[in-house]
Chain A
Amino acid sequence: MISADQLTKVYEDDVMGLDHLTLEVKPGEIFCMLGANGAGKTTTINLFLNFIEPISGTAFINGIDAVKDPLEAKKYVAYLGEVVQLYGNFTAMQNLDFFTKLGGKKDVSKKEYRDCLRKVGLPERFFDTKLKKFSKGMRQRVGLAIVMMKDTPAILLDEPTAGLDPRGAQDFLDMLRVLRDQGKAVFMSTHDIFRAKDIGDRVGIMKQGVLAMVLDKEDLEEEDLEKVYLEYMRGWGVD
């Protein structure tokens, strides 16, 4: 569903952003990408969304080349970033309506929007409240509602729990599990080793643009992920 083959990005200042990344995230799977700042996690997401162009390799969303035909590929992927404040002067309903329409859906009823906001756990009294009064956690719930309304087979999440309190982060992950159970392929970048272990079906460790290791569910049960991660990082002599 989400796949990359030898995907490589070198920035203008010759910094290696991504080095021959090859991976596949299957439907009904959550792939968590761990890595320090600048490791290439966000670069990977940006390449899938065609925000930047690779120097070589391919990125596919639902079998569509995201580099050659980005607009078509974007029909099948929903994205949520870390810093999504959304439009503060708009209510949760208005924000949801706007981004749902951008996603290509028309004639969505208010009831559907309300149901979706209910599903992400936003209290009913906040549906018609302007977002400038929302906490980060509440905004992130609206963000997830936007993702859910787009209803795509692939989901890209860029550190979506950063800055959320433990309860908020846990709620978020619970909702993510629901999406996985619906058969969606989720690629999530994160710094949070424990949450990656908790939610990820597979966890990748990335360093200096290279996907150095991928651990599956069994590996994760057997290994101490924190130890593996830190040792791996130390082994490379950086960070």
Chain B
Amino acid sequence: MIRTIAKREFLSNLMSYKFAVGMALCLILLPLGTYVSTRNYHRRLERYELDRDAHQRELTKLHVYSALHPQVDKRPPVLSIIAEGLEERLKSTVRADRHRVPCLEGKGGRMALSRNRYAQAFPSLEIVWLLAIILSLVAVLFAHDTVTGDRELGTLSLTLSNPVPRHQVLLGKYLGGIGSLFVPLLAGFLAVLVVMNLSAAVSLSASDWLAILIIFLLSLIYLSAFFLLGMTVSSLTRRSATSLIILLAVWVALTELLPNASFFVAKNIMPVASMEKTRTEKRAVEEQKNKEISKIWETAQQRAQRGELHILLNKRDNNEKGQLFRFISPETAEFLKDAFGEFETIEVKYADKMAWQDQSYVRQLERQWWLADILSAPSLARPFSSTVRALAGTDVEAFKSFVEKARQYRLEVLAFVEAQVTSNPYRFFTDDPVEEIQKDWPRALREERISRAELGEKMKTADGDPRRLLDLTSMPRFSPPKEGVLERLSRRWRDLTILLLSNVGLFLLAFSLFLRYDPR
């Protein structure tokens, strides 16, 4: 009997205007959105490749370790086409050097994180957003008259005058409805995949296909929840028009109002310290650091004035990122060795201090996000889109994993540099070989054992000498975090549970209402 009812419901929907509207929405908006998203992804990928190559090239031009500031880049995941998430909001390049501990950063600076994540998390034509909006709207359109429509036609009483239990009627209607919604959903997904695969930049791995399959199933679960919501409201009302008006109001509340209102409430319940306050605190720490460093340079100046230090060349190495000294006296080398050793300690100490401040700021934001997440969970649209973004690897957790990995990488780089300067302690600040330092060229110049012209020649030769470049072949390479699809899915177990439980809860509610429904 369920099959008979489901088949009728399915065919009836297939021949309705609702189906035509659903198909049109899915087949126009989703491919269009995919086209735009694919272009955005292509642009992100190009930028990533350019940045990555530039960062690698920089490393081949270094002379001293003080200029070593490796940067690591997060490759945009291909599924960011479906769920762009925070790809355009958070920085996907972080520095992993002694000056700075990697931290989550907004593209407009660390403080940009505090902007309304929900308002921003729904950029125009993001596929997951379109899915969340279109699917729920189509489901509501399909479901609003499942019960009231039959009552108005007089077919509900005719149906129930037969020996058919009500739960079978409801289940048949549900299965038929979901079956007919499956068609535009599948058509929409196929259209998305076709448009995606038309781009040469898109290459899907086995795990991407698995993620797409899970996203499809999730969409079905999400769609089912809204369909059941429609059935529930239809079982509460007597007329289809009333049901539709109520459902449209609920739909707007769930998909738009609740996520934004939740963020607003969370912002007021758990306010984050002002940007200015955090900035001022960080500035104070920075000033303290500069003071300590200046003190060492003052000593250097005093000793230079006293004629104890002799430096013939001091220039910036690799775009102002490090100080390169050449043709220094052995005493100067000893002084700089100690000074740079101290700089290292100071930089690391203050980097940790600033990281603590950054992290405490991010922690406050995370608490706010957590509350907003909890408050907006009943929206269904939020749990759905958050889970899809997690599967696509574009959610905040994916960025946190990247930053965490970058932090580990920074420690590896620090350890590598330490090991390198243990064997050659002068390499932090000079590319002079030890035997050159021993020759004490400043003294030789003073004693006129070498002319300025000869020294000038030597300097020119030094500039072009590839042997003076840092050998970083044994430096650790950054490996991005590797998370399996199921691992990513399990991160959103709460959202998944909400989606599944809402289905069960709404079916039971619709059923209990339909049991009492007067079919006349």
Contacts and interface: CB of A to CB of B under 8 A. Distances in A.
Contacts of B1: 101-102
B332 to A, nearest CB: 93
A51 B157 CA distance: 8
A55 interface: no
Contacts of B518: 51-52
Nearest to B149: A87
Contact of B519 (A51, A89, A101): A51
A90 B249 CA distance: 32
B115 interface: no
Size range of the interface on A? 20 to 34
Nearest to B172: A102
B163 A99 contact: no
A71 B154 contact: no
B319 interface: no
Contacts of B205: none
A75 B163 contact: yes
Given A75-B163, A98-B8, A103-B162, A84 B520 contact: no
Contact of B163 (A74, A86, A88): A74
A143 B164 CA distance: 18
A156 B161 CA distance: 10
Contacts of B16: 89
A42 B1 CA distance: 27
A49 B157 contact: yes
B159 interface: yes
A215 B518 CA distance: 32
Interface residues of B, number: 24
Interface string A32-54: 00000000001000100101100
A49 B161 contact: yes
Contacts of A102: 1, 4-5, 159, 162, 164
Given A74-B162, A75-B163, A99-B158, A42 B153 contact: no
Contacts of B162: 74, 99, 102-104, 150
B165 A146 contact: no
A90 B12 contact: yes
Contacts of B153: 83-88
A77 B161 contact: yes
Given A51-B520, A89-B16, A81 B163 contact: no
Given A49-B160, A78-B161, A87 B520 contact: no
A101 B8 CA distance: 11
A81 B158 contact: yes
Contacts of B453: none
Nearest to A51: B519
A85 B155 contact: yes
Nearest to A52: B518
Contact of A86 (B11, B155, B160, B519): B155
Most buried by B among A46, A80, A83, A88: A83
B441 to A, nearest CB: 96
A4 B212 CA distance: 60
Nearest to A70: B163
Most buried by B among A86, A90, A102: A102
Most buried by A among B8, B152, B161, B519: B161
A59 to B, nearest CB: 14
A104 B165 CA distance: 12
B158 A87 contact: no
A113 interface: no
B102 to A, nearest CB: 60
A231 interface: no
A79 interface: yes
Contacts of A46: 520
Nearest to B4: A101
A110 to B, nearest CB: 17
B15 interface: yes
Interface string A98-117: 11011110000000000000
Interface in B1-41: 1, 4-5, 8, 11-12, 15-16
A22 B388 CA distance: 63
A198 interface: no
Contacts of B165: 71
Nearest to A73: B163
B8 A87 contact: yes
Interface string A52-82: 1000000000000000000110110111111
A84 B154 contact: yes
Contacts of A52: 518
Nearest to B159: A102
B17 to A, nearest CB: 10
B180 to A, nearest CB: 12
A87 B165 CA distance: 21
Most buried by B among A77, A99, A146: A99
Interface in A179-194: none
B151 to A, nearest CB: 10
A85 B154 contact: yes
Interface in B424-467: none
A198 B94 CA distance: 93
Nearest to B164: A102
A90 B11 CA distance: 9
A99 B153 CA distance: 14
Given A51-B520, A98-B8, A89 B161 contact: no
Interface in B158-183: 158-165
B322 to A, nearest CB: 76
Interface in B137-163: 152-155, 157-163
B350 to A, nearest CB: 74
Nearest to B519: A51
Contact of B520 (A42, A75, A99, A156): A42
Interface string B265-298: 0000000000000000000000000000000000
Given A46-B520, A74-B163, A89 B12 contact: yes
B12 A79 contact: no
Contacts of A103: 162-163
A84 B153 CA distance: 6
Interface in B470-505: none
Contacts of A86: 153-155, 158
A51 to B, nearest CB: 6
Contacts of B5: 102
Contacts of B158: 79-81, 84, 86, 99, 143, 146
10 contacts: A49-B157, A81-B520, A84-B155, A85-B154, A87-B155, A98-B4, A99-B159, A102-B159, A102-B164, A150-B162
Given A49-B160, A88-B153, 18 more contacts: A42-B520, A51-B519, A71-B165, A74-B163, A79-B157, A81-B520, A82-B154, A83-B154, A84-B158, A85-B154, A86-B153, A87-B8, A89-B11, A90-B12, A98-B4, A98-B8, A104-B163, A150-B162
Which 6 residue pairs spanning A and B have beta carbons closest together? Answer: A79-B161, A84-B154, A102-B162, A89-B15, A83-B154, A74-B163
